[in-house]
Amino acid sequence: MSDSTDYLMAHARTATLQSRQMPFGRPREQMRRVARVYHLLAKQGDFIDNTELIDDYRTARHAELKLLAHRDYWLF
C-alpha cells in the first residue's frame, strides 16, 4: 500500500456510493459505517504505519464484502 491514504479514500467513496444505492434500513446504515471507517483510516494513514493500518482495513473490507454478499436479501 504505497499511497494508502488515496487507496482508502477511494474505498470510502465507493462504499458511500454503494450505500446511497441501497434501500433505507440496517444494511444501508452498516455500509455507511464501513465508509466512515475507511475515511477515518485514510485520515490516520499519514500518522501510523501501514502494518497497523492493514488489520483495520481487513476488518472493514470483510464487513463490506459480507454486506454485499447478502445483496439478494435487501428489500426493494
Tell me the per-residue pLDDT of 17-41, one tens digit each, with 9 for 90 and over: 999 998 898 889 999 999 999 998 8
Residue-level pLDDT at 1: 47
Instruction: Say how far apart CA 68 and CA 32 lie, in whole Å.
Output: 13
Model pTM above 0.75: yes
Q: What are phi and psi of 74, to 5 degrees?
A: -70, 140
Q: How far apart are the first and last CA of the chain?
A: 37
Query: What's the CA dihedral at 38, 41, 45, 51 to 10 degrees?
Result: -100
- DSSP H or E run through 13: helix 4-21
- Whether residue 30 contacts residue 67, with contact meaning beta carbons closer than 8 Å, is answered with yes
What does the pLDDT look like over 34-63, one tens digit per residue? 999 999 888 888 787 777 788 888 888 898
Domain extents for the chain?
A: 4-73
